[in-house]
Amino acid sequence: MTVTTKTAFRTTNAPQPAGPYSQAIEANGFVYTAGFGPQDPATGAVADSVAEQTRQVLRNIQAVLAERGLTLDDCVKTTVHLADLADFAAFNEAYQEFFSEPYPVRTTVGSQLANILVEIDVVAAVPEGR
């Protein structure tokens, strides 16, 4: 029987969990993040536009990945929840600012979100030797 080692990690540079979950878990060579919203970790403020919310969400994810020495370039999968799929073009333009080719695979779905326009979680591959 194979035993999986899970290691949780967190940063104060991203919003803190609002419940019984980790900001991120490393297991079997991958890092899995929680779904992050657009709250500024210092002030709790949330921007009005989906583009600005997307940028803040991705900055929050960058902060968590940095705790493990990773960047968005290490991401292999993203899952995006949009409150309104009509916001896809504005979301996509902001999202593209943060990623380079080869882009991670992505699933984007419409979701009922609590007073935010976008939530994103990622899976990042930990390079060998790190």
- Per-residue confidence (pLDDT) for residue 4, from 0 to 100: 76
Report pTM.
0.94
Q: Count Cβ atoms within 10 A of the Cβ of residue 122 and give its class: 0-12 exposed, 13-18 middle, 19 or more buried.
A: buried
Instruction: Kindly provide the b/e burial profile for residues 26-48, where b requires at least 16 CB atoms within 10 angstroms of the residue's own CB.
Output: beeeebbbbbbbbbebeeeeebe
d(CA 126, CA 12): 21
Amino acid identity at 75: C
d(CA 36, CA 13): 12
Q: What is the set of domains in the chain, with CATH numbers?
A: 26-125 (3.30.1330.40)
Backbone angles phi, psi at 35, to 5 degrees: -75, 125
DSSP 3-state assignment of 4? Answer: coil
Tens digit of each residue's pLDDT, the chain (130 residues): 676 789 999 999 999 998 999 999 999 999 999 999 999 999 999 999 999 999 999 999 999 999 999 999 999 999 999 999 999 999 999 999 999 999 999 999 999 999 999 999 999 999 987 7
Q: How buried is 20 (Cβ within 10 angstroms: 0-12 exposed, 13-18 middle, 19+ buried)?
A: exposed
pLDDT value at residue 1: 65
CB 83 within 8 A of CB 42: no
